[in-house]
Amino acid sequence: MKLHILGICGTFMGGVAALARELGHAVDGSDQNVYPPMSTQLEALGISLASGYSAAHLAADTDVVVVGNALSRGNPAVEHVLDHGLKYTSGAQWLSEHVLPGRETLAVAGTHGKTTTTSILAWLLEAAGRDPGFLVGGVPENFGVSARIGSGREFVVEADEYDTAFFDKRSKFVHYRPTVAILNNLEFDHADIFPDLAAIQRQFHHMVRIVPGRGRLIVNGEEASLQQVLDMGCWTPVERFGLDGDFDWTARLRAADGSHFDVLHRGEVVGTVRWSLSGRHSVMNGLAAIAAANAVGADLSRAIPALSEFVSVKRRMEKLGEARGVTVYDDFAHHPTAIRTTLEGLRARVGSARILVAMEPRSNSMRLGAHAAEIAPSLAQADAVVFLHRPELAWDAGKVVAALRGEGEAVPGVDELIAALDARAQPGDHVVFMSNGGFEGAPRRFLATLAG
């Protein structure tokens, strides 16, 4: 089969491309924005990429066009597919039909932490000798690829609540029919397609409805919004995790920054984690993944010690390097809660050292201003913030800058952002770039500027 994937450089669609290639299909694709890490992974797999959505990129012998959810009517490639009656499908549907049948699917859902938790879970199963398949919305450093088929029974998938395609407005995760589902957290997001939190909760309940009675729901016990989802109806055994309460799975911190903790299952210690991650949110992600691995019978005595070797996903507080005594990180932040917890984890690790943040409000919710009032409080741990205020931003970044605890400024372009950071940075500083897009290569460009 020959596939052409529209939107191939998106983290999910790039993973679909890798799986299709591993299954022996011929794959090529096109995208408007081609940037690492997905473009690098695809090129390494020998998958050809075309820039832009021209109909000319669709070869005559293409059997099926897999359409990413970033594309809509009016897109020239989409119009060509429809006008010529070409066979098309979504990435989630293709995955459900060609990869998941016969597997035990473990789906990781939540507003935050999906990519990291999916990667931790895949690594736990790998360490337990299960050789899982997986599809992660990023590139886990331990595996070097965002997706693989695997020879084992389990397939771990990052389960996104965003809609599937322009022709299928259901959340992607309803396609996966998981045996085990992690509900990691739930807040309002994706303001471009959901009017309120209740609308997202309904989508989560659509997934809860299809988890079998022999399966398991692994649920964040600290989140009232998730309990409200379960109150709509639940037919599957539930195990809850959390740090502040009496839950099935909890942790006893041995280090304040979350880098060392005991794992407790119903009050009994089942293992101790020492790893490179930090922050309360990382401990929560780890608990969720450990509970899910246990739900499919993984040997925790083998799996948990392997977390000492776990390396986080590219662009999840990825340390890019140091120059002039300044440490530079790249982080895929897209929501105020994720920003806050990430910076709190860094603060716990670096103590009184200065933290500088470069932020691109790029997600649809961020650009629409759905979280504008929450951004300044989420940056409380930053000593200085430089905002990239692009013309399409629908709200005044100046008001956010004025509300910051530390210093701040808004700049119109990446060149100005790099210059502003270069002027502020001092030896001993930690500079975090936060964006869920390419950021025009700003993190590495800044590191190169520091290095002279």
CB 135 within 8 A of CB 112: no
Q: Quick one: tokens of 399?
A: 């008001």
Those residues of the chain that have pLDDT short of 70 are: 35, 190-193, 314, 334, 363-372, 394-395
163 φ/ψ angles, rounded to the nearest 5 degrees: -70, 160
Q: Which of 330, 286, 302 is nearest to 441 (CA)?
A: 330
Q: Quick one: tokens of 254?
A: 């041995």
Question: In this predicted structure, what is the pLDDT of residue 369?
Answer: 53
Question: Which domains does the chain show, CATH number per domain?
Answer: 2-93 (3.40.50.720), 100-309 (3.40.1190.10), 318-451 (3.90.190.20)
Q: Please tell me the distance from the alpha carbon of residue 60 to that of residue 251, in angstroms, as a whole number.
A: 56
Question: In this predicted structure, what is the pLDDT of residue 213?
Answer: 97
β-strands 163-165, 104-109: how paired?
unpaired
Question: In this predicted structure, what is the pLDDT of residue 44?
Answer: 87
Q: Please tell me the distance from the alpha carbon of residue 43 to that of residue 157, in angstroms, as a whole number.
A: 23
pTM beyond cutoff 0.75: yes
Q: Please tell me the distance from the alpha carbon of residue 333 to that of residue 316, in angstroms, as a whole number.
A: 8
Phi-psi category of residue 39: left, alpha or beta, with phi > 0 → left and psi -120 to 50 → alpha: alpha
Question: In this predicted structure, what is the pLDDT of residue 374?
Answer: 79
Largest CA distance in the chain: 62
